Amino acid sequence: MFGNPKSLWPSKVFCLIAILMCFVGLAHGEPLILVANPKSQVSQMNKSEIKDILLGRKVFTENDSRIRVFLPSLDDQAAKDFVHSYTGMDQQQFLAYWRRRLFSGRG
């Protein structure tokens, strides 16, 4: 389904290893920390770039590495707040959005 994992990791894959969101203070406008593969050469992102990544609209970096997003369970309140802050969707809308993408072959 994802090809040969050995060929994808680490040379070709850009990983947002975890949008290890330092959710602390998210509601207060404090900076968000994204963790990425050091080879990605990404030092910062704006809100619209994060939204495009979360919604699957941006799947490759500028150097053509695949982006992989890992979120904690959406049952976690901090994850719900994060997704809502960047997509404007609640948990059910976000999951429904991804179900539609997956079943249409675009996810």
This prediction has a pTM of 0.67
pLDDT digits (tens, 9 = 90+) for 51-94: 999 999 998 888 788 888 877 777 888 888 888 999 999 989 99
| pLDDT tens by residue, 4-62 | 544 444 444 444 434 434 443 444 455 666 777 777 777 778 889 989 999 999 988 88
CA angle 13–54–27, rounded 5-degree value: 125
pLDDT > 50? residue 96: yes
Cβ-contact 68, 14 below 8 angstroms: yes
* Tokens (6 digits) for 91: 């948990």
